[in-house]
Amino acid sequence: MTTTRFFVYGSLSEGMVHFSKIKNLIESSTPAQIRATAYRLKVGFPVLIDSELDLVPGRLVDIRSTDLLMSLLDEFFGVNAIDPQGGLYHRKEVSASTAEGESSTAWVYFLNPQKLSSDATMIVGGDWIKSLAEEPAITEKLSDRQKQYISKLGATSGREIVPIDLQLYRELMKLELIVDKGRRLALSKFGHEVYRHLA
């Protein structure tokens, strides 16, 4: 097992939905920033595009890692090792600077610019932490009942009928999280993105 340094931001940050994936492997963590462009997805969480537009905040974390862990993280982010341009994200080593002015290299997951959805909005100045404080991600606004139903739908093979009451149906339709396929309900494209941030 070796130690690998990552620059983390968004849903992988402490207190966010995917922090549990790395929490028990962290050896050290310090505030840092990198040059990139931050966008806010419709679900509310940020993604970074590899550019030098803004100084984007995050944390440098040293993680106890193995080849398996690196593969699992790459798979989670949709990295395509054979065709990097075809992947959802790509992992790149960049220079990060700490609050003390020290620089260090770290791995970061950048979104493939071709996969940036048209409803994503650029976070001016790159401060995604401030953006989330002003307007929390949708996963923070959902009730437990809504989260449970989205999780149930997301976990089905697509053929099962998952019962729902009329009130919950109206709430999720209004949020554009589900689609009515006649005899059964399914997650919308947006619903699948929200499910990914709940799983």
| Residue 81 and residue 104 share a domain | yes
Among 21-25, 34-38, 72-76, 179-183, which is the least confidently predicted range? 179-183
- Identity at 1, one-letter amino acid code: M
pLDDT band at 17 (very low <50, low <70, confident <90, very high): confident
Residue 146 is encoded by which pair of tokens?
Answer: 């809504």
| Residue 151 and residue 73 share a domain | no
Measured torsion, CA atoms of residues 62, 67, 73, 78, in degrees rounded to the nearest 10: 140
Instruction: Report percent pLDDT > 90 for the chain.
Output: 67
The strand pairing partners of 174, in sequence order, are none
Residue 66 is encoded by which pair of tokens?
Answer: 């193995």
- Better-predicted residue by pLDDT, 165 or 48: 48
| Residue 101 and residue 64 share a domain | yes
| Residue 147 and residue 114 share a domain | no
pLDDT band at 32 (very low <50, low <70, confident <90, very high): very high
CATH number of domain containing 185: 1.10.10.10
Alpha helix positions (H), 40-137: 67-76, 128-134
pLDDT tens digits for 79-118? 998 888 889 999 999 999 998 888 999 999 999 999 999 9
Residue 54 is encoded by which pair of tokens?
Answer: 């803004």
pLDDT value, residue 180: 87
| Residue 174 and residue 113 share a domain | no
pLDDT value, residue 68: 87
**Domain span including residue 61:** 2-134
Residue 160 has pLDDT above 90, yes or no: no
Cα separation, 126 vs 52, in Å, equals 11
| Residue 72 and residue 38 share a domain | yes
- Number of domains forming the structure of the chain: 2
Residue 187 is encoded by which pair of tokens?
Answer: 């997650």
Which among 105, 97, 24 is positioned nearest to 65, based on CA atoms? 24
Domain boundary among 134, 163, 187: 134
Cα separation, 39 vs 10, in Å, equals 11
CATH number of domain containing 31: 3.10.490.10
